[in-house]
Structure 1
Amino acid sequence: MYLTRFRFNTNRPGSRKLLSSPQATHASVMGGFPGLLPGDPGNQGEAGAPRVLWRVDRNARAEVLLYVVSPTAPDLTHLVEQAGWPAAEGAGWQSHDYGGFLGRLEAGQTWAFRLTANPVHSIRRKDGEPTKVTAHVTPRHQAGWLLQRQEACGIEIVRRPVDQQLIPGEDEHELVVHGRDASGFDKPDPRSGKRGNGRMRVPLVTATFDGRLTVTDPDALRRVLCAGLGRAKAYGCGLMTLAPVA
C-alpha cells in the first residue's frame, strides 16, 4: 500500500475545476494508475479489500491537499500539469510506502485521526415500504454515525474528562465534526442518450471528522485504512488517516 500527497495550486483554473467536482477529481485520481481502465471504480478485489481511496483537505485557502491511499504508487504527472506547479522543483507529489506504518499498529496506541465520510442510514417512513438510504445532516447524528462504528473499525474514540465537556452527555468524545457539505454535484444524465447534453443532480452529503482514537483491533483498523469506511468512496469519502498525537 502507498500513501500519496499532492498540493493543489489554487490559482490555476484546472484546480478550481477539479475542486468543484468530486466526479472530475475521481477521474483525475484514477488516471494516475495505468492498470485501471476508464470507469474502473478502483476496487482491487472483494468487498473489504484494499482499493484506491482519496480525500481533499482544505486546510486554508492556499493549502488544499489531496491524499490518496492505493495498492500501487500513482503517477500524477497529469495532475501536476493541470493543477500544480509543473516547472517548480520538488512541487510534484510525494508517495510513501504505507505498509511499514500499517504493520506497526498495535492495540492500545492512541492516534489523532481525520476522516471525510458520507454518513447515511436506512429508514422506512411507513410500514410496508422499502427502506431508503438517507443522509445524516446534523453534527450530532453525523458524530453518532461514526461512534456506532467504533467496534467494527477496531477503534475507540477517546472520551473527554467530565470537567472538559462543554455539554455533558453530548460532548463526551474528543471528536469534532466540520466541513459539512450537502451541495452535491452535477453529472451527465444517461437518460439523455448518446447525443444528449442533459445533466442530473447527484445528492451528496459529506462531513469531516477530526479527533483522537485508541486502537482496539489493529487488523480491523488496517482494513478500514486500506478499504475505506462508508459509502461514496469514488467521490472522496471513506479515507481515514492517522497522525501522532500532538
Structure 2
Amino acid sequence: MTAWLIRILPDLRRRDVTKDMADPNQLHKRVMSLVPDDLGADPRAQAGVLFRVEDTRTGVQILVQTQMEPHLSRLPDGYGEAATRQLDGLLDRLQKGSVVHYRIAANPSKRLGKSAGPKAGKIEALRGAAAEQWWAERAAGNGLSVVTISSQSQRDVRAKGGIRHAVVRFDGSAVVTDPELVRTAVLTGIGRGKSYGCGLLSLALATG
C-alpha cells in the first residue's frame, strides 16, 4: 500500500502556526486538512493519518504520514516549508532479519486491574523503565525485536474532554521478525493518542 511522508518546517513567527503548536486539537485539524473531507466517521483512520512534532537542531518540524496523497496546497500560504516523499521503497525492502533504526513518540499506558481498588479500570501513564518495557512488548507484537532503547519524556498532550496523553519518545535499533506486521504498524500506528501526535513509527534501514 502506498504511503506518503510530509515534512513541514513551520514558520514559528506566524500567529496561525503558534496557535496550532499550542493547541493539540487545532494541530490535529491542521494535519487533517491535508487529506480530503467527508471521509466518514473516523477520517483519520480512513486516510491513515499519523503525525509527530519534533525539535531538531534546525528547529521544529512536523512529520505527517498519510495513505492518501496529501494536498499541500491546503496549507496557508507561508505556513512553512513542506516536502513529500513516498515510503513504498522502504516498506518493500523490509525483510525478516533486517536491522532498522526506529523512532516513535508513543503514549505508554496500561489499564489498572481490580487490585488497584477505586482506580480499577482507569488508564495509568507509564514512565522510565516501565515505559521502556511497554515499548519492547509492543514492538515485539508488531514484528520488531528491540535491541536498544533510549526513552525521553515529552510534554503531555491534553486532548478534548480534558483527557491527558503522557508522551514518551523512543529511539533505538531493532531486528525485523515479521515484515508484514512491521508494515502494518508503520501504516496504522501503535498505541493510543494517534490523533494527537502519538503512534507514528519511523524506520530507517541500518547500513554497514
TM-score normalised over the length of structure 2: 0.87
The reply to whether residue 177 of structure 1 matches residue 177 of structure 2 is no
Write the mapping of 1:178-193 to structure 2, written as runs, cut at 5 A. 178-182=152-156, 184-185=157-158, 187=160
Does the C-alpha gap of structure 1 residues 110 and 36 become closer, same or farther in structure 2, counting only changes over 3 Å? farther
- State yes or no: 1:16 paired with 2:18: yes
Q: Secondary structure at the match of 2:31?
A: helix
Distance 1:244 1:102 in 2: 10
Gaps of 5+ in 1: 45-49, 85-90, 159-173, 188-199
5+ residue gaps, structure 2, are: none
| Paired residue secondary structure (1:237) | coil
SS at match of 2:191: coil
Matched residue SS, 1:67: strand
Distance 2:129 2:77 in 1: 41
The structure that is helix-richer by fraction is: 2
Letter in 1 for 2:154: R
Match of 1:223 in 2: 184
Deviation at 1:37, TM superposition (A): 5.0
In 2, Cα distance between the equivalents of 1:127 and 1:9? Answer: 46
Q: Secondary structure at the match of 1:100?
A: helix
1:71 and 1:233 map into 2 onto residues whose CA distance is 15
- What letter is aligned with 2:155? D
Question: CA separation of 1:66/1:127 partners in 2, compared to 1, >3 Å: closer, same or farther?
Answer: closer
Flag the 1:210–1:14 CA change in 2: closer, same or farther, 3 A: same
The answer (yes or no) to whether the contact 2:140–2:146 under 8 Å persists in 1 is: no
The CA deviation at 1:146 is: 0.4
> Against the structure 1 CA distance between its residues 242 and 9, is the aligned structure 2 distance closer, same or farther, given a 3 Å change threshold?
same
Alignment match of 2:90 (pick from 101, 112, 117): 101
Measure, in 2, the Cα distance between the counterparts of 1:41 and 1:123: 30
SS at match of 1:32: coil
Equivalent residue for 2:105?
Answer: 116
Indicate conservation of the 8 Å contact 1:36/1:42, yes or no: no
Partner of 1:234: 195
Q: Please provide the CA RMSD for this pair.
A: 2.3
Which residue of 134, 142, 155 corresponds with 2:144?
Answer: 155
Any conservation in 2 of the 1:13–1:83 contact (CA below 8 Å)?
no
Moved more, 111-120 or 98-107: 98-107
Cα distance in 2 between the residues matched to 1:142 and 1:82:
38
Q: 1:64 to 1:12 in 2, by over 3 A?
A: same
Determine whether 1:145 maps to 2:106: no
CA distance in 2, matches of 1:36, 1:76: 18
TM-score, normalised on structure 1?
A: 0.75
Other-structure match for 2:66: 70
Indicate the percent of aligned positions where both proteins have the same amino acid.
29
CA spacing shift, 1:36–1:29, aligned 2, 3 Å: farther
Shift of 1:245: 3.4
For residues 77 and 202 of structure 1, what CA distance do their matches in structure 2 show?
32
Which residue identity is paired with 1:143?
E
1:133 maps to which residue? Answer: 123
Structure-2 change in CA distance of 1:139 and 1:80 (3 Å): farther
Q: Which has the larger radius of gyration?
A: 1
Paired residues, number: 204
For 1:28-59, what per-residue CA distance to the aligned partner results, in whole angstroms no more than 9, with x for missing partners?
Answer: 11111124459744112xxxxx7111111111
1:54 aligns with 51
